[in-house]
Amino acid sequence: MKKVFDYDIEPFYLSEDMSNKLFCTFAKEDTLEEVLKTITEQYKIIYNKVFVLYSASQDEYICTYNVDHGNVNSFLEHTILVHRKKETNTLYTINALNTLIKELNGGVIDKSFIVNWNDYRNCILLTKGDELRKVSTKLHRIIELEQ
């Protein structure tokens, strides 16, 4: 079976520390509207916004949104938990950050290593196995939800 997306989608589970987490759901053009509808029906979106990014190199859409754990009882397919560097619009998984630091720091993961986030402006850092994927993104649209 051919994978839809060319990177690892790491499973994550409900925990007590799920408040105000940034979810990231991937979609192809033909599924985007249905994915957006499902996101807005299934979750209480904090800040009432869904940011839809587009990656030309992957030809896919990346929907990011903050959720309140109070109404999370399952996760949508093709969804990961990400972190964001606001100043550079960089999204990343913890695995990708560790892989990046390892690459930049001579094979050593060091929590005190300082990443030059400007080198990763407007992208999402993901992994595929042991390989780091830097996927460039641009803002496609912002969906403002009614309160």
Q: Which tens digit of pLDDT belongs to each residue from 124-140?
A: 999 988 899 999 999 99
Largest CA-CA distance found in the chain, in angstroms, rounded: 48
pLDDT of residue 43: 86
Choose among 100, 80, 93: nearest CA to 124.
93
How do residues 89-103 score in pLDDT, each as one tens digit?
999 999 999 999 999
Joined together, the tokens standing for residue 18 give: 């799920």
Q: Which candidate, 67, 2, 55, places its Cα nearest to that of 26?
A: 55
pTM (predicted TM-score): 0.84
Domain chopping of the chain, boundaries: 21-144
Indicate if the alpha-carbon torsion angle 78, 84, 86, 89 is positive or negative: negative
